């Protein structure tokens, strides 16, 4: 009889546990569906048209950034401009400006004269959220030079000439260098002239040493 009672008790506990699970199971959250897979490489093919980046892009230097296009991680280079290396002061200034301009995402437009550069980066013309050409903003700020790459209509030599003439940006601003060059002569001009007594002592001292 004890064995029968023990079986009945165990059976009752198991049934109660199953009832609790059945009551709570519908309340559990449904498993989240897996998001689309982002693959490495695979830049859009030539002639694929315009593209839009996500709101955030990873800026590499003043003209290069990594983004996702057609679910592929793609390294993009802005065509028609050149910037200083990213490990220089001027290069860091260009990088910061590109990061600011790309905030919120960029509209990318193909160039009919260029698709990939020498480093196999996909080249595009980029526009900010409010429609400003990114290359032009970099040139105007004096942190990028105009090159002969890409379509002529996307080059901005007039903006480069204006930045150069006004000494705008790290590429054309020479005030810091000029000030540093003038500093020694300025310091010499403001130093007090030696007194007559000082000159006499110096002459005596030199005469004793050389004699």
> pLDDT, tens digit, for every residue of 179-205?
333 333 333 333 444 455 444 444 434
Question: Which residue shows structure tokens 């569906």?
Answer: 33
pLDDT confidence tier of residue 40, bands split at 50, 70 and 90: low
Q: Reply yes or no on whether the pLDDT at 26 is more than 60.
A: no
Strands 72-78 and 39-40, by their bridges, are parallel
Give the per-residue pLDDT at 207: 42
What pTM, to 2 d.p., does this model score? 0.65
The more confidently predicted of residues 3 and 107 is: 107
Query: How high is the mean pLDDT of the chain?
Result: 76
How do the domains of the chain map onto residue ranges? 39-172
Give the per-residue pLDDT at 151: 87
Backbone angles phi, psi at 90, to 5 degrees: -65, -40
pLDDT confidence tier of residue 127, bands split at 50, 70 and 90: very high
Give the per-residue pLDDT at 12: 57
pLDDT confidence tier of residue 35, bands split at 50, 70 and 90: very low
Which SS3 state, helix, strand or coil, does residue 24 take? Answer: helix
> What mean pLDDT comes out for the span 76-96?
97
Q: Reply yes or no on whether the pLDDT at 177 is more than 60.
A: no
Q: Reply yes or no on whether the pLDDT at 77 is more than 90.
A: yes
The more confidently predicted of residues 10 and 161 is: 161
Name residues whose C-beta falls within 8 Å of residue 82's C-beta, 6 or more positions apart in sequence. 63, 144, 145, 147
Q: Tokens in use for 95? A: 């990088």
Class of domain 39-172: mainly beta
């Amino acid at each position: 009889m004890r064995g029968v009672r023990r079986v009945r008790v165990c059976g009752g506990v198991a049934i109660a546990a199953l009832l609790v699970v059945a009551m709570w199971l519908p309340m559990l959250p449904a498993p989240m569906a897996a998001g689309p897979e982002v693959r490495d490489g695979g830049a859009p093919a030539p002639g694929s048209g315009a593209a839009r980046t996500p709101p955030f892009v990873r800026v590499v230097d003043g003209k290069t950034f990594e983004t996702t296009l057609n679910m592929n991680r793609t390294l993009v280079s802005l065509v028609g401009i050149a910037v200083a290396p990213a490990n220089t002061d001027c290069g860091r200034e260009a990088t910061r400006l590109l990061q600011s301009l790309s905030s919120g995402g960029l509209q990318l437009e193909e160039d009919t004269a260029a698709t990939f550069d020498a480093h196999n980066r996909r080249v595009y013309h980029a526009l900010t959220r409010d429609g400003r050409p990114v290359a032009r903003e970099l040139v105007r700020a004096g942190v990028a030079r105009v090159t002969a790459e890409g379509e002529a209509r996307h080059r901005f030599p007039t903006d480069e000439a204006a930045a150069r003439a006004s000494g705008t940006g790290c590429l054309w601003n020479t005030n810091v260098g000029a000030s540093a060059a003038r500093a020694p002569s300025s310091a010499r001009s403001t130093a007090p002239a030696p007194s007559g007594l000082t000159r006499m002592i110096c002459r005596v001292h030199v005469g004793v040493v050389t004699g």
